[in-house]
Amino acid sequence: MKIRFWGVRGSIPSPGSKTVRYGGNTTCIEVETDDGETIILDAGTGIHPLSQSLLKKLPLSCSIFITHTHWDHIQGLPFFVPIFIPGNQIRIYGAFDPVLQKDIGDVLSRQMEYCYFPVREAELKADIKYNSLHERQPVEIGSARVTNIFMNHPVLTFGYRIDCNGKSMFFTGDNEKLYNIYQPGDDYYTEYENQISRKNALLDDFIRGVDVLIADSAYTEQEYPAKKGWGHGTYNSCVDMAKNIGAKALYLTHHEPLRSDDELDGIQKQLNAIEALPVCIAYEGLEITL
């Protein structure tokens, strides 16, 4: 299995001289299975450069798994060039949202309406199929199996685990460590604490021992208090998660839009002191072979 990062930025694309080394495109990860199938995790603006590289593989068959439908995870999709080319088969997977009563196709086709984009969805030439997933519904893609679990973010968000010939990776999507919304002594504090423990145990079991954990580390510990509840992790929360589940390596992504290359270099230096496992701040073009 090969993993390539095409977009590592969170919230909004961040081009410019201060982000040129880690990259300014929003979330997109390509996974190539051992038998050559193409799996894409999220369709942020990084999917546009990815689509240029996939033009060598026409006719293309690929599967796109969307963690959630915030802009920074879907806004590249109308610019994913293979959707315009006949003969390509593109399967798009994501959650059915029971609160909004919308499936992934409903939400994604909205951004192809004329007020947002000049080409109507009905005019796309590729064979595009939407598939709504329930939690933990497995999908077999060639030699790989993709499964999902709910994460903690303001909209329904899947984390995806991919297993392929004994190797495994997990991508959190956007995720904030669960915390108790009550104060000690409040009526519901203990009950909520127990709920958090149960949910954490389920998540830990789901991802225990993965070879690669890719996690949302948008904030520093200093920034986090002002952003609590926005649904993102910190460098420390990701490292704790990786240690807790015995991940063999941790890759950090969804960089805060204003975080410069030099700042990320400084954070990487601090992370190099962690002995439990290798921790790497992801950058555009980074490749991992498992």
Smallest distance from Zn ion to CB 120, Å: 26
Indicate the residue whose CB is closest to Zn ion. 70
For residues 194 and 134, give the distance between their C-alpha atoms in angstroms, rounded to a whole number: 24
In contact, 205 and 169? CB cutoff 8 Å = no
* CA distances to 213, 228, 239, 240 from 249, in Å: 6, 26, 10, 12
Q: Which is nearer to Zn ion, 97 or 193 (CB)?
A: 97
For residues 225 and 138, give the distance between their C-alpha atoms in angstroms, rounded to a whole number: 36
Smallest distance from Zn ion to CB 58, Å: 30
Which range, of 12-20, 71-79, 110-118, 265-273, touches Zn ion by CB under 5 A? 71-79
Q: Which helix (H) or strand (E) holds 163?
A: strand 158-164
Q: Which is nearer to Zn ion, 82 or 231 (CB)?
A: 231
Smallest distance from Zn ion to CB 186, Å: 28
Is position 259 an interface residue for Zn ion (rule: CB under 5 A)?
Answer: no
Site string for Zn ion, 146-175 (x = CB under 5 A): ----------------------------x-
Smallest distance from Zn ion to CB 145, Å: 25
Q: State in Å, rounded, how far the first CA of the chain is from the last one.
A: 5
Helices marked H in the chain — which ranges? 47-54, 71-74, 104-110, 189-207, 224-227, 235-245, 261-271
Site size toward Zn ion (CB under 5 A) is: 4
Contact set for Zn ion, span 164-223 (CB under 5 A): 174
Structure tokens at 250: 């941790």
Using CB under 5 A, pick the residue from 4, 7, 9, 10 that binds Zn ion.
10
> Residue by residue, what is the 3-state secondary structure of 255-281?
ECCCCCHHHHHHHHHHHCCCCCCCEEE
Is position 72 an interface residue for Zn ion (rule: CB under 5 A)?
Answer: yes
Q: Which is nearer to Zn ion, 163 or 174 (CB)?
A: 174
Q: Which is nearer to Zn ion, 164 or 283 (CB)?
A: 283
Q: Which is nearer to Zn ion, 4 or 70 (CB)?
A: 70
DSSP secondary structure string for all residues of 125-155: -SEEEEEEE-TT--EEETTEEEEEEE--SSS
Smallest distance from Zn ion to CB 157, Å: 7
Which range, of 5-13, 108-116, 131-139, 262-270, touches Zn ion by CB under 5 A? 5-13
Place of tokens 């590289």: 53
Is position 76 an interface residue for Zn ion (rule: CB under 5 A)?
Answer: no
Q: Which helix (H) or strand (E) holds 2?
A: strand 2-7
Structure tokens at 183: 């104060």
Smallest distance from Zn ion to CB 254, Å: 6
For residues 107 and 183, give the distance between their C-alpha atoms in angstroms, rounded to a whole number: 37
Smallest distance from Zn ion to CB 263, Å: 19
Which range, of 8-16, 159-167, 176-184, 266-274, touches Zn ion by CB under 5 A? 8-16
Using CB under 5 A, pick the residue from 70, 161, 255, 259 that binds Zn ion.
70
Q: Using CB under 5 A as the criterion, which residues of the chain lie in contact with Zn ion when the complex forms?
A: 10, 70, 72, 174
